Amino acid sequence: MTVILVGFVVVAATTLSWFSCGLLDDGEGNVKVGTVMPVSGDLSTLGPAAQTSISLAFDLINEAGGVNGSQIEVFHRDSGTNATLGADAASGLVNVNHTNFIMAAHASPVTIAIAESVTIPNGVLQISPGSSSKAISALDDNDMVFRTRVNDGIKAQALVKLAQAIGYKRVATTYVNNAYGESLNESFIENFEAIGGIVSAAVPHELGQASYISELSDASEDDPEALITIAYPDSGTTLLREAAEGGYFDEFIFVDQTKSQSMFDTIGGNHFDGSFGLAPGSPETPAVRAFRRVYSERTGNDPNAQIIAEAFDAAIVLALAIEQADTDDSVAVRDELRSVANPPGEVVGPGDIPRALELVRDGKDINYEGAAGSIDFDENGDVLSSMRVWQMMDGKIQDTDIFALPGDDIDLSSIK
Residue 198: partners with Cβ closer than 8 Å, 6 or more residues away = 169, 170, 171
Do 248 and 226 meet the contact criterion of CB atoms below 8 Å apart? no
In order along its 416 residues, the chain shows pLDDT tens digits of 333 333 333 333 333 333 343 333 345 689 999 999 999 999 999 999 999 999 999 999 999 999 999 999 999 999 999 999 999 999 999 999 999 999 999 999 999 999 999 999 999 999 999 999 999 999 999 999 999 999 999 999 999 999 999 999 999 999 999 999 999 999 999 999 999 999 999 999 999 999 999 999 999 999 999 999 999 999 999 999 999 999 999 999 999 999 999 999 999 999 999 999 999 999 999 999 999 999 999 999 999 999 999 999 999 999 999 999 999 999 999 999 999 999 999 999 999 999 999 999 999 999 999 999 999 999 999 999 999 999 999 999 999 999 999 889 999 999 86
Instruction: Provide the 8-state DSSP code for 115.
Output: I
Question: What domains can you pick out in the chain, each with its CATH number?
Answer: 4-149+284-374 (3.40.50.2300), 152-274+386-404 (3.40.50.2300)
Sign of the alpha-carbon torsion through 244, 250, 256, 261 = positive
Instruction: Provide the 8-state DSSP code for 27.
Output: S
Residue 407 has a pLDDT of: 86
Measured CA to CA, the distance from residue 156 to residue 314 in angstroms comes to 23
Residue 27 has a pLDDT of: 54
DSSP string, 134-160: HHHHT---TT-EEESSPPHHHHHHHHH
Residue 128 has a pLDDT of: 99
Sheet architecture: strand order including 145-147: 72-78, 31-37, 101-104, 125-128, 145-147
Residue 13 has a pLDDT of: 31
Do 132 and 112 meet the contact criterion of CB atoms below 8 Å apart? no
Residue 190 has a pLDDT of: 98
For 30, the 3-state DSSP assignment is coil
Do 127 and 338 meet the contact criterion of CB atoms below 8 Å apart? no
Residue 12 has a pLDDT of: 35
Of all helices (H) and strands (E), which one includes residue 62? helix 47-63
Q: With CA atoms as reference, report the closest residue to 390 among 230, 278, 255.
A: 278
Of all helices (H) and strands (E), which one includes residue 183? helix 179-194
CB half-sphere exposure, 208, CA atoms < 13 A: 8
Task: Locate the DSSP E strands across 156-258.
Answer: 170-176, 198-205, 226-230, 252-254
Residue 11 has a pLDDT of: 34
Instruction: Note the pTM of the prediction, 2 decimals.
Output: 0.92
Do 152 and 183 meet the contact criterion of CB atoms below 8 Å apart? yes
